[in-house]
Amino acid sequence: MTQESNKSASTILLVEDEFNIAKLFTFNLTKAGFRCEVAGNGREGMELAEKIKPDLIISDVMMPEVDGYEFRKRLLANPELKQIPFVFLTAKGEEEDILQGFDLEIEDYIIKTSSPKVVIAKVSAILKSLEKERVKVVDEVQKAADSMGAKVVPEEFPQFEGFQIKHWHLPFKNVPGGDFIDYFKMDDDHIAIILGDVMGKRWGAWYFAVAYAGYVRSAARFVLESSKDYQPSHILHKVNESVFKDERISEVFITLSVIILDKKNKIARYSGAGDLPLIYKSKTVDKIISKGVLLGFSKSGEYEDIELKLNNGDELFLVTDGITESRNKAGELYSEDHLMKFLEELNPSEDSLAQMQKEIFDYTGGEMDDDISVIAVKVL
């Protein structure tokens, strides 16, 4: 059950198996300006939470299949969902039930018989408190980024004969985040292109995302500066060794893709750590996935090189998941399949990156859920 609302409104996931109660709460929450989605039990609630990433979850305690307590435990076990504020909805007011809920790190209880004004007041108070925290954290992150001189994305595109190299980077809510881009000219014939993503960010962790992104970008630059090795897999192995040995960063989810262009032989060599694929557009559009594991997860990393012989007009694209996980007003993911189809239909007489920007803005209405980063390479 979905109530249409303004996309900028806070989204509340209501998990309640009694139809009339769900209908009543949905009506009052929607009337108060919230966007409300409903699931009938904890299993459905988990699936919907993963899909829509709500701003607040209100859940009944007693439900079939998966009750509220088990639902909450499953949310806490999920790194991306555990930070979503959670409120129990219950017909009971016993001390034991309330204490059990607070042991599961909930924000509050709402008694089902509470008046609509009380319900709305509690929900509004929780969301206002979180917004104040968000504003404070964003301000601190921005100041920290400024003080560090954090430049995790180059201000200018690199010049490399025979190739056009461009990027598009849009930080989530204009706050420096975990995506990072870098270019390093190894010699007259070789340039390294790097795209990475520090994942699992929430407001309280954004400072660390900036710091981790800067750390990995610096580690990659150090390896490139001290080596004339033109194998991206070797670059990744050395960066991975550095990350694996550092306990401060080894448990952070970090993807890293490296392309080394050889202009003399018109060759691109690619290797990746994690699930950011390289998309190669020639006569067809192909998704090239590296089998390398996320940085720091394994000492070996298992990184391998994939070599592509390039022709004039061929294009390469690296994108972070901020593109494929973008959503439209109906909450539908843009998806990799959608992206591949779009790239197949690119107008060759127009700039590919400009077309992609328009495509994503049109699909999302300009409301992004994560950092957006794209690197586009065209063979001239």
pLDDT tens, position by position, 52-110: 889 899 998 888 888 888 999 999 888 778 888 898 887 765 556 666 667 788 888 88
pLDDT at 378: 96
pLDDT digits over 81-93, tens only?
888 889 888 776 5
pLDDT digits over 208-241, tens only?
566 667 777 778 888 888 777 789 999 898 888 8
Containing 139, the helix (H) or strand (E) segment is helix 116-148
Contact 144, 207 (CB under 8 A): yes
**More confident: 359 or 201:** 359
* pLDDT of 6 above 50: no
Task: For residue 239, give the nearest of 200, 279, 271, 287 by alpha carbon.
Answer: 271
Distance in angstroms (rounded) separating the CA atoms of residues 377 and 279: 10
Cite the residue boundaries of each domain of the chain with CATH code 3.60.40.10.
Answer: 152-379
Structural domain 152-379, CATH architecture: 4-Layer Sandwich (3.60)
Report the top-level CATH class of 11-141.
Answer: alpha beta
DSSP secondary structure letters along 197-239: EE-S--GGGHHHHHHHHHHHHHHHHHHHHT-----HHHHHHHH
pLDDT at 4: 38
Query: Which of 88-97, 260-269, 363-372 has the highest average model confidence (pLDDT)?
Result: 260-269
Q: What is the pTM of this model?
A: 0.64
Burial 322-345 (b: 16+ CB within 10 A, else e): bbbebbeeeeeebebebbbebbee
Cite the residue boundaries of each domain of the chain with CATH code 3.40.50.2300.
Answer: 11-141
Distance in angstroms (rounded) separating the CA atoms of residues 58 and 354: 41
pLDDT digits over 141-179, tens only?
556 555 544 567 888 999 999 999 999 998 776 655 578
* pLDDT of 183 above 80: yes
Contact 60, 89 (CB under 8 A): yes
* pLDDT of 275 above 80: no
Handedness of CA 236, 157, 309, 350 (dihedral sign): positive
Which tokens is 333 given? 């993911």
